[in-house]
């Protein structure tokens, strides 16, 4: 496993993390023992960065992750646990209340990285108010570092200016070869400010794995059922890129999944993708994205093919 540091800190994290949204009704992996097998394989392969959220299964993901790490005998200092607090919890009272519940579900005394899942856009909590409360959690030792997810740059600036003695260390957003809007201003902002950029949906919820084709799309019964990238008018736009990924993967003796993640890791040193997995075999495949490198020519070939894709979200 390859490692880097989290933002401007000296906290060591694996170059690829494990996303755990899968442990929820949204993705359908609600069997604890199967989830534990996935986590166990990740630990075995040296993945030490685990990303979850309070809203994933309404706490199910946090519970599964915390219980599995404990039963596997993983030392607390050997893993980095990142969770996320939703925007509607970002008022001073609920911040403490929700973090206390999160700590209990995870079975830990402190959270390594607490990320703001999205802004409190429906409840109008002042940024300065929740910023000060978040700092109290850092001061009290219940949260080590703070990050943002799905925040526009203007709100990041407001949040950072509201802190007195701390700062964010990471930014988490949708970013993959089919959906690249984050590279317009978000990734450059992370690079300029020594922040880790954490792409969620780095495989476009599986659309880039090579498992599907425009003429053979299944009727998804999970969160992918309403995902724009799988809409027929969009998925057909991926055909050339998918063929390129298959061609390049064959050249390197890798899978399209591994090529996609390797491309992303080569895009910027601040990137730390968090793909999800439902089986130990999928974790092994994810880890196989490391330990080798695409040539400049192949990286550019994929990049150029990707840039021609325009996903439309107005599908209904």
Q: Check residue 275 and give its pLDDT.
A: 97
Q: Check residue 146 and give its pLDDT.
A: 98
Q: In 3D, which of 244, 289, 234, 287 has the Cα closest to residue 264?
A: 289
How many domains are there within the chain?
1
Query: Could you give the percent of the chain with pLDDT greater than 90?
Result: 91
Mean pLDDT to the nearest integer, 98-116: 98
Residue 89 is assigned to a structural domain of this protein: yes
Mean pLDDT to the nearest integer, 181-204: 97
Residue 308 is assigned to a structural domain of this protein: no
pLDDT at position 222 over 90: no
Q: Are 194 and 145 in contact (CB under 8 A)?
A: no
Q: Check residue 28 and give its pLDDT.
A: 80
Residue 208 is assigned to a structural domain of this protein: no
Q: Residue 112 — very low, low, confident or very high, per pLDDT cuts 50/70/90?
A: very high
Q: Check residue 88 and give its pLDDT.
A: 97
Question: In CATH, what number is assigned to the domain containing residue 74?
Answer: 3.20.20.100
- Domain containing 52 equals 3-203+260-292
Residue 233 is assigned to a structural domain of this protein: no
Largest pairwise CA distance in the chain: 55
Active site residues: 56
Residue 216 is assigned to a structural domain of this protein: no
Q: Check residue 217 and give its pLDDT.
A: 84
In whole angstroms, give the CA distance from residue 235 to residue 242: 10
Helix extents (H) in 144-181? 153-162
Q: Check residue 207 and give its pLDDT.
A: 93
Residue 192 is assigned to a structural domain of this protein: yes
Q: Check residue 3 and give its pLDDT.
A: 97
Q: Check residue 40 and give its pLDDT.
A: 98
Q: Check residue 221 and give its pLDDT.
A: 78
pLDDT at position 251 over 80: yes
In whole angstroms, give the CA distance from residue 312 to residue 310: 6
Helix axes 92-106, 60-71, angle to 10 degrees: 40
Handedness of CA 182, 302, 236, 24 (dihedral sign): negative
Q: 222 to each of 18, 34, 166, how far by Cα in Å?
A: 19, 17, 39
User: What confidence tens digit (pLDDT) does each residue in 117-126 have?
Assistant: 999 999 999 9
Q: Label residue 198 exposed, middle or buried (CB < 10 Å: 0-12, 13-18, 19+).
A: buried
Q: Residue 184 — very low, low, confident or very high, per pLDDT cuts 50/70/90?
A: very high
Q: Check residue 226 and give its pLDDT.
A: 86
User: What confidence tens digit (pLDDT) does each residue in 17-57 have?
Assistant: 999 988 988 778 889 999 999 999 999 999 999 999 999 99
In whole angstroms, give the CA distance from residue 175 to residue 155: 19
User: What confidence tens digit (pLDDT) does each residue in 78-94 have?
Assistant: 999 999 999 999 999 99
Please state the pTM of the whole predicted model.
0.95
Tokens of 260: 């996609």
Mean pLDDT to the nearest integer, 177-195: 98
Helix (H) or strand (E) holding 42: helix 32-44
Mean confidence (pLDDT) of the chain: 96
Angle CA 124–114–56, to nearest 5:
80
């Amino acid at each position: 496993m390859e490692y880097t540091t989290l933002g401007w800190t000296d906290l060591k994290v694996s170059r690829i993390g494990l996303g755990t949204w899968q442990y929820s009704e949204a993705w359908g992996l609600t069997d604890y023992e199967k989830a534990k097998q996935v986590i166990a394989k990740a630990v075995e392969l040296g993945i030490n960065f685990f990303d979850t959220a309070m809203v994933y299964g309404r706490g199910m993901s946090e519970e599964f992750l915390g219980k599995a790490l404990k039963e596997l005998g993983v030392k607390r200092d050997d893993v980095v646990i990142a969770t996320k607090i939703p925007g509607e919890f970002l008022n001073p009272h609920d911040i403490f209340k929700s973090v206390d519940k999160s700590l209990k579900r995870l079975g830990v005394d402190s959270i390594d990285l607490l990320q703001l899942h999205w802004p409190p856009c429906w409840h109008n909590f002042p940024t300065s108010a929740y910023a000060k409360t978040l700092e109290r959690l850092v001061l009290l030792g219940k949260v080590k570092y703070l990050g943002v997810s799905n925040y526009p740059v203007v709100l990041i600036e407001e949040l950072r200016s509201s802190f007195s003695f701390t700062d964010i260390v990471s930014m988490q957003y949708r970013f993959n070869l089919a959906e690249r809007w984050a590279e317009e201003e978000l990734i450059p902002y992370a690079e300029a400010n020594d922040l880790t950029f954490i792409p969620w949906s780095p495989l476009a919820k599986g659309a880039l794995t090579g498992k599907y084709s425009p003429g053979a799309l299944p009727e998804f019964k999970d969160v992918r059922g309403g995902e724009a990238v799988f809409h027929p008018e969009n998925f057909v736009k991926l055909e050339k890129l998918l063929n390129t990924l298959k061609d390049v993967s064959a050249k390197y003796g890798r899978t399209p999944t591994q090529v996609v993640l390797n491309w992303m890791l080569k895009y910027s040193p601040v990137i730390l993708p968090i793909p999800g997995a439902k089986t130990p075999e999928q974790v092994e495949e994810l880890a196989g994205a490391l330990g080798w490198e695409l040539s400049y020519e192949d990286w550019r070939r994929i990049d150029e093919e990707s840039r021609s894709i325009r996903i439309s979200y107005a599908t209904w």
